[in-house]
Chain A
Amino acid sequence: MRVPVSWLREYVDLPTEVTARELAAKLIAAGLEVETVEEVGADISGPIVVGRVLEIEELTGFKKPIRHCRVDVGAANGSGEPQNIICGARNFSEGDLVVVSLPGAELPGGFKIGARKTYGRMSEGMICSASELNLWEDHAGIIVLPEGTAEPGTDAFELLGLREDVLDIAVTPDRGYALSLRGVAREAAALYEVDFRDPAEAEPIEENGEGYPAEIADIDACDRFVLREVSGFDSDAPTPMWMKRRLALAGMRPVSLAVDVTNYVMWELGQPLHAFDRTKLSGGIVVRRAEAGERLETLDHVVRDLDPDDIVISDASGPISLAGTMGGLDSEIDDASTELVIEAAHFSAPNVARMARRHNLHSEASRRFERGVDRELPLRASARAVELLTRLGGGRPGGLTSVDPKVPGPAPIVIAERHAARIAGVDYPEGTAARRLRQIGCEVVEEGDTLRVSPPSWRPDLTDPNDLAEEVIRYEGYENIPSIPPRAPVGRGLSPGQRLRRAVGRALAGAGFTEVLSYPFVGERDLDGLQVEADDARRDALRLANPLNDDEPFLRTTLLPGLLKTLVRNVGRGFPDVALFEMGLVYLPKEGMPAAPLPGVDRAPTAEELAELEAAIPHQPRRVAAVLAGDREPAGWWGQGRAATWADAIEAAREVGRAAGVEITVRPGRYAPWHPGRCAELYVTVDGGEVLVGHAGELHPRVTKAYGLPARTAAMEVDLDPVERAREAVRAPEVSTYPVATQDVALVVETSVPAGEVEAALREGAGELLEDVRLFDVYTGEQVGEGRKSLAYSLRFRAGDRTLTAEEATAARDAAVAVAAERVGAVLRG
């Protein structure tokens, strides 16, 4: 809402010394968010004066007609002699009053005026158009001032309002009243405690004849409807410059007097108006809901299918206007309209909001109706419009139609006198609440400790006790609320899961991975790139109804696409050795996707309603994933680097397990997007049962190709929730100080036997004396034969209560080997 300060001052006696910035600060402190204070015309300077065109000499021989003018600028040029000025415009005659920039003036855009030779003559200035002075948009030529406006030589700054401070206020949805000069002025008057002149309280205007017939068919749609007629209006009458200037400052484009007046009154009072051409109406007007199948061509030349929820103004021909949103083309006033019908009404706010959204028609009118317009305004605003139209455009007022179904107003709000004080934590003196509420226009009846408050008609937002408390507190000053530390009960700190997430993040970062927070939006292509099958569960993704990017309508079911794209971006920026991780939610639809209900809000949802809500919310497990490519350890002066491999990805998953204190069991697996021979399944044990928590390994070559990744990029993805559930309380180990007995064994197994299974067998067979097993060599080659491999393990035995004998250690080793032999066919290598 743009508010020219001089316009505002017309209604409120602000002290003259108050600057626009001070006013803005005051309004901000009261809740009207002034975003900018624009100093319009601050870029205009120097001598700009009124001139009278004395002589025009038409110059010929140029591409376009050019005029050499002698212009009387009074004493403004110092000499009193007429000024010679070359001008390309043609919309003026000898004797006209014009606006002249003399040498030394500077116009918007840094345009400096000087005396210069052009078209073979000296030109000592410029005759200005409205656009050149940033007054309003006008391409019809230069400004011709009405005769008698001022004497030649008069300074034009004051005369035209070249300089003006304009407040731009971001009006919050509850303060619809502030979408008008009237509302802002009332606020400013209350804040400065000075007089306010209500522009809506104009002189009553005459009425001639019967009003245009109208009725309201649906009072839920419209509870106030006013029509006023003007007849014999001069459609050629120009909009006066002051009005054009104010409209331009407010951000509107001047169009024609009739349109400009409706806009002007809307800005001034906050009441949207609509003007019909009476000669285009047929029969009585009815405000009603649209009927199915009805259509209306609106002013923007769009033929719209109407919805039964739409409110329309109709006549015998059908709908002629979308209420409070946009008029119809056929009944609209045009350049030749002389018989006008001005409509001012009060429409249902939520209904207009729905219409604006449904038809994507967000206008200044709908913006005001959505936020609530003063129901008592239509009669006055229409009178104001008719007064302006007849004064500026001739004609005379016609009849008045006022449909007032007399809906009961809201009941008064009863609040405790101390209500605002209790909320603010400030001990306001008694009587403060009543005084402040009266200041904003409420009627207040004091009844002991309570107040019975009736808000004014322009404040439909005041419905609850706390709304009134806010009014009191903001006028008493939010800045006067003291600061008292809250006294929370003893908290339990972070939950185990919250601590785990931090630990996992630190562990992966410590292991050289950099955290990424990528967007969760993915497309079909991302899943294709992962080579997941058509029936893969990861294709069953939630879809956004209004994605930002039509290529990415889904919510991720895996963290990998975002990570892989980020990896590619880093490689592209010259960092071939990258290790990244991300922790975040994936979104998994539930079977059948039951729609979430909307329980009432006048009470807590019932257990059934809560269960229904939860049943509709998709599974959103938290995952952690990592990707890496290039060298895990770079080459350097110490020698060769070490390329990142499948093993680093699995190790990253183990790192996650270690951060949680949970053992991750690794088994060979096959799962997109991993290389089928280099993919690990990752398990943890929860309540005695193994749970698959994710995968790790090298990516399939087709995946690296699809994503443009470096060859042999590796990745892992793990579900954090089961990892957290797998945590068990740690019991302190008994640390034995007896000596260790080490036994090495080399076992030959089939190549296909996973080392993890061999180790598991050894552990089981070795029994309690085993302290640790470590695989220290893997050998394949002639000595063990085709299709076989040798795994060399170092077994460490130790007892808690004695030094083990060699026999005991050997027996334990033999037992371990025996289980490995039985389980995986391991043969002790000779």
Chain B
Amino acid sequence: MSAPNNSYDPVEVTSLHPDEVARMREEALAAIAGASSLEELKEVRLAHAGDRAPLALANREIGALPPAAKADAGKRVGGARRDVSEALKRRQAELEEERDARVLVEEAVDVTLPWDRVSRGARHPLTTIAERMTDIFVGMGFEVAEGPEVEAEWYNFDALNFQPDHPARTMQDTFFVEGAGGRPSGLVLRTHTSPVQVRALLTRELPVYVVAPGTTFRTDELDATHTPVFHQLEGLVVDEGVTLAHLRGAIDAFVSRMFGEGLTTRFRPSYFPFTEPSGEVDMQCFVCRGASVGNPDAPCRTCSSEGWIEIGGCGVVNPRVLTAAGVDTERYSGWAFGLGVERTLMFAHGVRDMHDMVEGDVRFTSAFGMEI
């Protein structure tokens, strides 16, 4: 398509003749307009805008012109090349648009198709809620203490001021571990996380601010509200000048972080051998906030229309426990609490039956995902 450049004349170059430049330009523009696909346009670009294109070749000749003619020829060829380049750009955009409209539609897929090629896993909600409970206290500066599940009776009972024949000791429905030859081993499956209190006091520097989440055991048959294997979160503070007011502050902080701001708590006197004074902690029902009490038209399943939910036991560490753990009771005092992890999960997430937490049905656990 390009004119051969075989008649080189330093004065008059054919290819730079205005008519010739105009013809090359027209030819190129026609070719561009005629390109019907991006592939064709690519060829047209090579032919009319590439290094060997007529206008490109013509451009090289400009140097041979006398200085007076250079500017004029340069302007002409440059203008033509610019027009071609712009036409190419426009056509490229047009063709891409055409392609997008056609090809990308043809390539469309059904994005609602499932792609569950790797099955979903989940952590057990008792694990994740215990972590959440723990983290609330870690956020207050507590550390996490631990102890064995098969525990010495001394830690589980004696050091916690359970007298050998006191009803409190037998009320705990303890699993006893058989010793060698069927003799007593002095070991039990810990009935609560409280032995960790004694371990923490014996091994840590004072002051002690710890929580101890863990598995605990009592000889209850599994039913909707009982399980022989369950979980507690123990809390222990031993420091100078601590009071029940601080205990209440810690519990209130837990309740507001776990169940929502503005919920009130209630302390009731109770009895545990290892705390004196002792108390039970109730929190205001986070569902009805007490509105269901005496209101049969709006009963509350969460709190059985009592307005309060029992969440755990607590109290001032019995100085006898501190003594058994070698703490100077003249200088230090402490408080402790125990919260039920199962109960917390039941309340916070509406679990109705203990079986669901125990059986390991993947449908139950999957619903809770990785974090709670």
Using CB atoms and an 8 Å cutoff, list the residues of chain A in contact with chain B. Answer: 28-31, 33, 172-175, 349-351, 353-354, 357, 370-371, 422-426, 464-467, 469-470, 473-474, 478-479, 481-495, 498, 502, 505-506, 508-520, 542-548, 555, 566, 569-570, 573, 575, 577-581, 584-585, 587, 592-593, 595-599, 601-605, 610, 613, 616-618, 620, 632-634, 636-638
Contact = CB atoms under 8 A, between A and B. Distances in A.
A545 B178 contact: yes
Contact of B244 (A423, A493, A520, A577): A423
Given A482-B248, A488-B142, A491-B143, 5 more contacts: A466-B277, A488-B140, A512-B120, A598-B154, A610-B202
Contacts of A349: 165
A425 B243 contact: yes
A514 B121 contact: yes
B221 interface: yes
A138 B31 CA distance: 116
Interface in B144-201: 144, 148-155, 158-159, 161, 163-168, 170-171, 175-180, 183-187, 189
Contacts of A505: 123, 127
Contacts of A516: 124, 360, 365
A478 B279 contact: yes
Contacts of B142: 488, 491
B324 interface: yes
Interface string B109-132: 000011111111111101100010
A491 B209 contact: yes
A120 to B, nearest CB: 45
B249 A601 contact: no
Contacts of A569: 359-361
Interface in B77-120: 113-120
Contacts of A587: 149-150
Contacts of A510: 121, 370
Contact of B248 (A357, A481, A570, A581): A481
Interface string B335-372: 00000000000000000000001111111011000100
Contacts of A33: 268, 270, 280
Q: Is the interface of B mostly helix, strand, loop or mixed?
A: mixed
Contacts of B177: 542-545, 555
B7 to A, nearest CB: 51
Contacts of B152: 596, 613, 616-617
B187 A618 contact: yes
Contacts, number: 307
A426 B243 CA distance: 9
Interface of B: 113-124, 126-127, 131, 138, 140-144, 148-155, 158-159, 161, 163-168, 170-171, 175-180, 183-187, 189, 202, 207, 209, 215, 219, 221, 228-229, 237, 242-250, 252-253, 265-271, 276-280, 316, 318-320, 323-326, 333, 357-363, 365-366, 370
A620 B149 CA distance: 8
A634 B277 CA distance: 58
Contacts of A494: 138, 144
Contacts of B143: 491-493, 495
Q: Which 8 A-B pairs have the closest CB atoms?
A: A604-B326, A425-B243, A31-B269, A596-B186, A488-B141, A425-B245, A470-B277, A350-B165
A188 to B, nearest CB: 15
28 contacts: A29-B268, A31-B269, A31-B270, A173-B168, A357-B165, A464-B320, A466-B316, A469-B316, A473-B269, A478-B266, A478-B279, A481-B248, A488-B140, A505-B127, A509-B122, A510-B370, A512-B120, A514-B365, A516-B365, A518-B360, A544-B177, A544-B178, A575-B362, A585-B149, A592-B180, A602-B324, A617-B150, A633-B117
A485 B123 CA distance: 32
> A478, A493, A592 — which one has the most chain B CB atoms within 10 A of its CB?
A478
B361 A570 contact: yes
Contacts of B319: 464-466
Contacts of A470: 269, 276-278
A555 B278 contact: no
A575 B119 CA distance: 12
A469 B269 CA distance: 12
> A485, A490, A518 — which one has the most chain B CB atoms within 10 A of its CB?
A485
Contacts of B324: 601-605
A176 B201 CA distance: 32
A638 B110 CA distance: 13
